[in-house]
A and B are shown apart, each in its own frame.
Chain A
Amino acid sequence: MKPLMRPYGDTLNDGKMQLSFTLPMEVGPKGEAVAKALCETMGVADATVVHSEALSEHFSFYILYGTLTHAVDSDAVEVRDIDTESMSKDDIEAYIDAHFDHPITFIGASTGTDAHTVGIDAIMNMKGFAGHYGLERYRHVKAINLGSQVDNETLLEEAIKHHADVILISQTVTQKDVHIHNLTAFIELLEAENRRDDFLLIIGGPRITHALAKELGYDAGFGPKKYAHDVASFAAQALVNKRSQSKR
């Protein structure tokens, strides 16, 4: 039997869902009808408006419950995740020792106009985050953190200057897809300078996923609850793979 998936309220396959959204129209019966009609078009049947209120004369807010008529075959859903194994700090250090005759150089920054540093610091700085030490504390790793508001050109210059193996980019502000524009611009810059293959490119931030990273032309992406050892594990193994591929 196929594991068809539907949301669960209190009975298997009842398909119960809650939704809430704002409409740019006056509150009232018409607004409620529109909200229900929208649910219907999404495949949420028998939607009931359990709450509605005016946000101003021209805007209204709705909470609805309904029954989802769709189901998804969970076997057919693919997850695009990092396939290398995540190792502990000690194991990573031993791995680097065994596979590299020089320390791995990571250079990182929070780029563009983004001034958030806590994310990149969590990965790179000595102290790390949530009990996971940062790259700076790793043996056989050189971690250069350029801080925030670093423009793409500067990041590339510094990466070349320090012979970096891995470039780490953090993006926190995502409004109006500013992170997508900025990350795309960096790939374009690398390609224009013919430098794309010189580095392993890793991005991270609260709204970053591995799938997004791949889509944008990066080697990997890390989001919340990922720490230095996840990044270092991936990087060390990916660098070894890259080397063996280029030898072939």
Chain B
Amino acid sequence: MKLTLDTHTIDACRRDARHIADAIKTELDPYSTVSVERTVLRMLGIDGVDAFDVPYVNVLVDHVKTHGDLRFGIAHHMAWAIARTTKTPQTIAKRVAEGAMSLGDYFEPTTPDYTVLTPFINQSFARIRTQRQHRETVLENHPAPSPEKYVIVATGNIHEDIDQALSAAARGADIIAVIRTTGQSLLDYVPYGATTEGFGGTYATQENFRLMREALDGYQRHHGRYVKLVNYASGLCMPEIAALGALERLDMMLNDSLYGIIFRDINMKRTLIDQAFSRVISGYAGITINTGEDNYLTTTDAFEHAHTVIASQFINERFAEHARMPATLMGLGHAYEIDPSVDNSFLYEIAQAQLSRQLFPDAPLKYMPPTKHMTGDIFKGTVQNALFNIACVTTKQQIHLLGMPTEAIHTPFMSDRALALANADYIYKAFKAFADSVDIKPGSLIEKRAHAVLDNARTLLDDIREEGLFVTLKKGTFAGVSRGENDGKGLGGVFKKHPLYTNPIMERMLAACEEDAS
């Protein structure tokens, strides 16, 4: 099954997207954020919280704001302190938190000997490489299927989540995503330890990551099949969570600034800077990112705004390229959200899904089920999900988020997930060779629709290139939500770098990715 598409239009979209994303990069490269700096500290091996449950990494960055000069970067301060005290980063963090030491006492406005950081960086990097290696080895023996069945758990309690996840695994889930609790995106720190109290999701903490990973690894040891784990590198702690995911071997990370800007009112500069670093970390760790274009269609009409999804996918692709991410890690998002009362809605969905498939042939596309038009009628919902599943297999999507019959009611019950998995399995079997047995008729409704969406995406990308992404976001083009350049949460955490600023983690990771690519 294939659409004939105009390669000139596709090239033009890519050119525009490159221009749009590169302009953002140029504008934001001179800046860093508090969360980027905290991530550097985590990569130096700093872990734990002080007597008031404030993470040491927050304590240190806040401390440098008043007792040092953050413009030079946290690595600069740490390098001076380590060189002069010969203490480890963890000890320094503890002592600063106890008030027994001030980084200001060691700070010099000249380039420090960064090699004092190397042994600590090596440790984190070795751990991430080992985790990546492990994933690759296991997956070599038991390759991931296509599509991969992705389900969420969201009980708020990590222990309950584990029961739910293991049940889903037993019923054939390939990917488990632990949804985050409401409110976490806006926390400017990562909570600590195992947690049992979340709403609509569970806190993303390093310990919760570890517990779920351990449970899924246990499943793999018994059954041979590797079950991938997903969380959200998003919100105000985007790069920190990416780092924790890399350390604890998460396999996928939701990672999209545009989602945070539009749906959580996070400041665009803050989150785009954070995203740049988080994607480098994920790329280095071999973590697939998932982008959030599907969500645009929950607040605007999916038929009219289909092209905004395509345009955003092109932009997200370019942002990922900045991080030297290979296409095989770009889980670009889209969704089955057209109103079921529209004539031929299924055909339009096929057009959109096949279009995305062909525009990003190497990307493991993330395909979201119907959510917005799901209702309390769980029986009709099962049929909606079946159509979505057919669209998924026939257009060969990779990351298949299973629709729940109870989508409009609650976060999934264990039985909802089992029903959804059975629905998908049946359709995979029934439609196995379908895509290779049919053609899309030239000039048909499906093809015309795909052409129209692509053309509109191109026009939109031209406009964004002309006006700049920040203006587009102000105009409310994506999801019908308007956001200003200097509005939203977290802008206070953005600062301009000093000419001597260095982020040794980012540099080393980028160099390693460059090497991998060549």
Contact = CB atoms under 8 A, between A and B. Distances in A.
Interface of A: 20-22, 53-59, 61, 112-115, 117-118, 147-149, 173-176, 178, 206
Contacts of B156: 175-176
A128 to B, nearest CB: 13
Q: What 5 pairs across the A-B complex have the smallest Cβ distances?
A: A113-B183, A56-B167, A113-B182, A178-B199, A56-B170
A173 B415 contact: no
Given A55-B167, A55-B170, A173 B299 contact: no
B298 A175 contact: no
Contacts of A178: 182, 199-200
Contacts of B265: 147-149
Interface stretch (B65-73, B225-233, B405-413): B405-413
A174 B408 CA distance: 12
Contact of A176 (B186, B199, B408, B481): B199
A59 B162 CA distance: 13
B55 to A, nearest CB: 20
Given A113-B182, A114-B182, A175-B156, A55 B415 contact: yes
Interface residues of B, number: 27
In this complex, the member of B156, B167, B263, B410 whose beta carbon has the largest number of chain A beta carbons within 10 angstroms is B167
Contacts of A173: 182, 199-200
Given A55-B170, A173-B200, A175-B156, A61 B415 contact: yes
Contacts of B368: none
B171 interface: yes
B420 to A, nearest CB: 12
B264 A175 contact: no
Nearest to B489: A149
B199 A55 contact: no
A147 B476 CA distance: 14
A180 B413 CA distance: 21
Residue among B265, B299, B413, B418 with most chain A CB within 10 A: B418
A206 B182 CA distance: 17
Interface in B397-432: 408, 410-411, 413-415, 418
Contacts of B481: 117
A95 B414 CA distance: 51
Contacts of B411: 175
Given A20-B415, A57-B170, A176-B156, A115 B263 contact: yes
Contacts of A56: 163, 166-167, 170-171
Given A115-B264, A118-B298, A175-B410, A149 B186 contact: yes
Interface string B151-174: 000101000000100110011000
Nearest to B422: A53
A59 B160 CA distance: 13
Nearest to A206: B408
Interface string B173-206: 0000000011100100000000001011000000
B60 to A, nearest CB: 28
A38 to B, nearest CB: 15
Given A113-B182, A118-B299, A149-B265, A22 B199 contact: no
Nearest to A127: B480
Nearest to A207: B409
Contacts of A20: 415
Contacts of B166: 56
Nearest to A178: B199
Given A55-B171, A56-B167, A117-B299, A149 B264 contact: yes
Contacts of B414: 22, 55, 59, 61
Contacts of B413: 22
A85 to B, nearest CB: 27
B200 A175 contact: yes
Q: Which of B263, B410, B415 has the most chain A CB within a 10 Å cutoff? A: B415
A21 B200 contact: no
A224 to B, nearest CB: 8
Contacts of A61: 414-415, 418
Nearest to A147: B265
A53 B481 CA distance: 45
A18 to B, nearest CB: 11
A22 B199 CA distance: 22
B483 to A, nearest CB: 11
A145 to B, nearest CB: 12
A153 B317 CA distance: 41
A117 B199 CA distance: 17
A148 B185 CA distance: 13
A53 B418 contact: yes
Contacts of B154: 175
Given A59-B163, A113-B199, 18 more contacts: A20-B415, A21-B415, A22-B413, A54-B170, A55-B170, A55-B171, A56-B166, A56-B171, A59-B414, A61-B418, A114-B182, A117-B299, A118-B298, A149-B186, A149-B264, A175-B156, A178-B182, A206-B408
Contacts of A175: 154, 156, 199-200, 410-411
Given A20-B415, A53-B418, A175-B200, A115 B182 contact: yes
Contacts of B182: 112-115, 173, 178
Contacts of B199: 113, 173, 175-176, 178
Contacts of A148: 265
A156 to B, nearest CB: 19
